[in-house]
């Protein structure tokens, strides 16, 4: 936290508590008394200099919450629309608020000139989570001189230390502006989201908070009609939130909402590593940041997608009967409790999930503990995990973050205990030079799959990532920025087997024409692959290489593109070729069309097929996606999303694993043909904040076979004609 710079935001009892009308105009007299922040710094490219255009942020508080106004001087502007939580191609502002001033948790509020919004949370430096949705208000306007954003963020949006009587709270704030025409980012204070110390660099301010208790209820109705057989299914549910004051919050959900209004991306995954997916269910996203403990190597200790996931019989989704959590910001620590119980279904008994969390914060350090427990009667399995995490900011340039954890699993009279430890050290010796050292240890008995996510256990890994940017170029230079990154990684399993080491280099050249070129080179040394045989042995893999060239066009025009060519090895010796094409076309500011295409051809695709079999294929993979998004009115939009992939893999050789060697087999493996298609049409009407009406038509299917002579058109037609899902969904939720 910046010291010696604390500003006091005076507590104004605004007449009628709404002397400020959130219309984006900033014309109320109350704004004349606001605290002003105007010393913005350009952080992308990271020159550290004042921007060529001015930005002025203002902040006020009253008994209801925080008001923020931002004035953005700018001539060339982008007003393109993006719906909530979609990445934008418009100019935008971001307000970051840390309600405790501790740096442990910050809330992000995004407003675009095109009328779009986005929100999320940051924890422990720069770990972002965009699943959170808060109840806040923003409006934008513009005139010839500038464009304006006006925010109202109620105290009820977060849980933080306070009492029922007026008292001064130490908070912190940061502001960001993105100028899309110039492709520049401006920050106040001087910080950046890429820094590991990001949430600790905010500007302190004091605010008086006297918040009475409040509550909200969000009932929902979801009706699904199966197009094929006419079967209908109706669901009713309720989300409840009660806050007696700003320091305590109680949340509960009955029959949680499973009306799927955003389809998951199609993923082609033939590895033994699970694909990590996000969770947008309201109850599991709201104020979840206290439980969101992470670490290197995609470690996630509380993964809410485990709750109500695939049923234990492998058919359908395990429904949830009830879930509850409470969050308390006490004088000595933040404390959270979590409970969820799945329904018992005819062929699958539901599990019970428990979690507890505390986090103590001081000026430069924090210490916390997360404990989870899962009882799965279907498999007679009980799993517990406990983690101790710490964060220590040694100086403004150096910080440490670590985890020490253990797991214990009881399953069918067997008791297994595993341990793990991680340490991350960030060091920034100069403005444009960042260093990150990461160390991970996961024992072979560690199990987190019941309520956490870990790509793999049985691992010892050390990784160094160095980043450096060149930004000082002559006025007649072609370059705006040259970004350099180097990664060195060494890994082995706990048996002492040396896994492939990774060395990579990245060069990105941002030109003054607003084009960018990217080059990546990576080498993976020879080593042991102990996952490919899926528990039936280990395989010695030769060295592999990976090269990529990419060009990105300016995003300020109506049409933009991102093209990439990749030449790499994924098997024993031959090379694979891959092309990625991503395009975006704004027909108008309110209509956007995106087309994405990927083509892979490889004569050396090496994958495990179970029971110690490892096969080599010549494969062709095509994947394309088409997205159409249109704003129909201020409160409504419609989107059409369609994805397809087709895989054809002709078997070359089959092997059996024996003593790290691949032993050729006489029998030729079966060919692989797989096709999957997903389509969704979604209409949304916004009734009020966090209150929406959705109408969704979804159709998806997948097919597997061995006939390589089937054309791609036929594969698409088959998955369309014989869908696995084909339904119409009506979903209504309203927050009172």
pLDDT of residue 55: 98
What pLDDT is attached to residue 373?
98
Q: Is there a contact between 98 and 180 (Cβ–Cβ < 8 Å)?
A: no
What burial class does residue 386 get, using C-beta atoms within 10 Å of its C-beta: 0-12 exposed, 13-18 middle, 19+ buried? middle
Q: In whole angstroms, what is the distance from residue 302 CA to residue 281 CA?
A: 15
Q: Within the chain, which residues score under 50 in pLDDT? A: 1-18, 163-165, 259
Looking at residue 7, what is its pLDDT? 38
> What angle (nearest 5°) sits at the alpha carbon of residue 324, between those of residues 322 and 330?
175
Neighbours of 21 (CB within 10 A): 12
Whole-angstrom Cα distance, residue 416 to residue 199? 38
Say whether 41 sits in a helix, a strand or coil. strand
401-419: pLDDT as tens digits:
999 999 999 998 899 999 9
What is the pairing mode between strands 544-552 and 559-568?
antiparallel
In the beta sheet, which residues pair with residue 607? 615
The 10s digit of each residue's pLDDT in 689-709 is 889 999 999 999 999 988 999
Q: How far apart are CA 434 and CA 513, in angstroms?
A: 27
Distance between CA atoms of residues 618 and 603, nearest Å: 4
Task: Read off the tokens for 23.
Answer: 């219309």
- The residue written with tokens 């994805």 in the block is 643
The predicted pLDDT at position 318 comes to: 83
Q: What is the pLDDT of residues 290-337, one digit of tens each?
A: 999 999 999 999 999 999 877 766 666 788 999 999 999 998 999 999
- Put simply, whether the predicted model's pTM sits higher than 0.95 gets the answer no
Q: What is the pLDDT of residue 363?
A: 84
Q: Is 716 exposed, middle or buried, given 0-12, 13-18 or 19+ CB atoms closer than 10 A?
A: middle
User: How many CB atoms within 10 Å of residue 475?
Assistant: 5
Work out the angle at residue 416's Cα, subtended by the Cα atoms of residues 412 and 422, and round it to the nearest 5 degrees.
145
Q: Report yes or no: 573 and 604 within 8 Å, Cβ to Cβ.
A: yes
Q: Residue 233, exposed/middle/buried by CB under 10 A (0-12, 13-18, 19+)? A: exposed
> Residue 183, by phi and psi: left (phi above 0), alpha (psi -120 to 50) or beta?
left
| Residue 482, CA distances (Å) to 74, 191, 432 in order | 26, 19, 11
> 8 is written with which tokens?
């006091």
* Pairing, β 459-470 against β 479-492: antiparallel
Angle at 279 between CA 736 and CA 696, to 5 degrees: 70
Contact yes or no for 488/462 (Cβ under 8 A): no
Using CA atoms, how far apart are residues 355 and 374, in angstroms rounded to an integer?
Answer: 9
pLDDT of amino acid 102: 87
Fold classification of 7-211 (topology level): Immunoglobulin-like (2.60.40)
List the domain boundaries for the chain.
7-211
């Amino acid at each position: 936290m910046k010291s010696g710079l604390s500003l006091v935001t005076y507590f104004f009892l605004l007449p009628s508590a709404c002397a400020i009308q959130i219309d984006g105009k900033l014309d109320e007299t109350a704004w004349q008394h606001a605290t002003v922040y105007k010393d913005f710094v350009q952080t992308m490219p990271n020159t550290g200099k004042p921007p060529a255009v001015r930005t002025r942020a203002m902040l006020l508080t009253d008994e209801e919450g925080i008001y923020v106004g931002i004035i953005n001087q700018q001539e060339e502007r982008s007003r393109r629309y993006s719906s909530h939580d979609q990445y934008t191609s418009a100019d935008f502002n971001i307000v970051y608020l840390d309600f405790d001033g501790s740096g442990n948790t910050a809330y992000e509020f995004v407003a675009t000139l095109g009328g779009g919004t986005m929100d999320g949370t940051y924890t422990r430096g720069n770990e972002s989570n965009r699943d959170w949705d808060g109840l806040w208000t923003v409006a934008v306007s513009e005139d010839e001189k500038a464009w304006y954003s006006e925010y109202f963020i109620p105290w009820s949006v977060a849980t933080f230390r306070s009492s029922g009587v007026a008292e001064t709270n130490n908070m912190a704030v940061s502001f960001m502006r993105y100028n899309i025409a110039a492709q520049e980012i401006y920050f106040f204070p001087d910080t950046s989201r890429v820094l590991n110390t990001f949430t600790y660099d905010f500007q302190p301010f004091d605010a008086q908070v006297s918040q009475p208790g409040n509550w909200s209820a969000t009932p929902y109705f979801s009706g699904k009609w199966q197009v094929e057989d006419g079967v209908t299914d109706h669901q009713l549910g309720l989300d409840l939130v009660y806050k007696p004051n700003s320091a305590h919050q109680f949340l509960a959900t009955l029959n949680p909402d499973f009306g799927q209004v955003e389809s998951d991306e199609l993923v082609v995954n033939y590895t033994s590593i699970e694909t990590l997916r996000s969770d947008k269910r309201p109850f599991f996203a709201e104020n979840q940041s206290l439980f969101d403990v992470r670490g290197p190597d995609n470690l996630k200790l509380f993964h809410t997608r485990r709750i109500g996931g695939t049923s234990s019989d492998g058919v359908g989704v395990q429904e949830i009967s009830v879930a509850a959590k409470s969050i308390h910001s006490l004088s000595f620590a933040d404390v959270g409790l979590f409970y969820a119980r799945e329904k018992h279904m005819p062929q699958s008994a539901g599990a019970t999930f428990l979690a507890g969390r505390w986090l103590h914060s001081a000026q430069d350090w924090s210490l916390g503990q997360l404990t989870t427990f899962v009882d799965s009667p279907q498999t007679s399995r009980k799993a517990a995990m406990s983690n101790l995490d710490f964060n220590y900011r040694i100086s403004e340039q150096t910080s440490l973050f670590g985890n020490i954890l253990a797991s214990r699993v009881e399953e069918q009279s067997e008791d297994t205990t595993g341990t793990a430890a991680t340490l991350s050290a960030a060091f920034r010796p100069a403005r444009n030079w960042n260093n990150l050292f990461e160390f991970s240890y996961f024992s072979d008995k560690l199990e987190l799959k019941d309520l956490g996510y870990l790509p793999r256990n049985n691992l010892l890994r050390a990784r160094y990532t160095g980043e450096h940017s060149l930004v000082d170029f002559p006025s007649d230079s072609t370059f705006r920025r040259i970004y350099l990154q180097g990664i060195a990684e060494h890994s082995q399993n706990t048996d002492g087997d040396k896994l492939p080491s990774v060395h990579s280099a990245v060069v990105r050249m941002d030109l003054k024409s607003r084009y960018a070129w990217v080059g990546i080179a990576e080498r993976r040394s020879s080593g042991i692959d102990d996952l490919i045989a899926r528990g039936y042995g280990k395989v010695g893999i030769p060295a592999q290489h990976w090269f990529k060239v990419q060009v990105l066009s300016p995003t300020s025009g109506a049409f933009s593109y991102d093209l990439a060519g990749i030449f790499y090895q994924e098997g024993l010796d031959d090379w694979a070729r891959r092309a990625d094409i991503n395009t975006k076309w704004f027909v108008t500011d309110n209509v956007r069309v995106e087309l994405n295409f990927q083509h892979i051809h490889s004569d050396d695709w090496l994958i495990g097929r179970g029971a110690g079999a490892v096969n080599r294929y010549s494969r062709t993979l095509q994947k394309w996606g088409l997205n159409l998004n249109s704003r129909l009115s201020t409160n409504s939009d419609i989107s059409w999303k369609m994805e397809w992939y087709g895989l054809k893999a002709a078997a070359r050789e089959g092997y059996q694993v024996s003593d790290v060697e691949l032993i050729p087999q006489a029998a030729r493996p079966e060919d692989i043909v797989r096709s999957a298609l997903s389509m969704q049409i979604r209409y949304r009407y916004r009734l009020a904040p966090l209150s929406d009406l959705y109408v969704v038509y979804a159709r998806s299917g997948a097919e597997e076979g061995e006939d390589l002579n089937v054309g791609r058109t036929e594969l698409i037609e088959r998955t369309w004609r014989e869908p696995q899902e084909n339904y119409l969904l009506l979903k209504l939720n309203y927050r009172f």
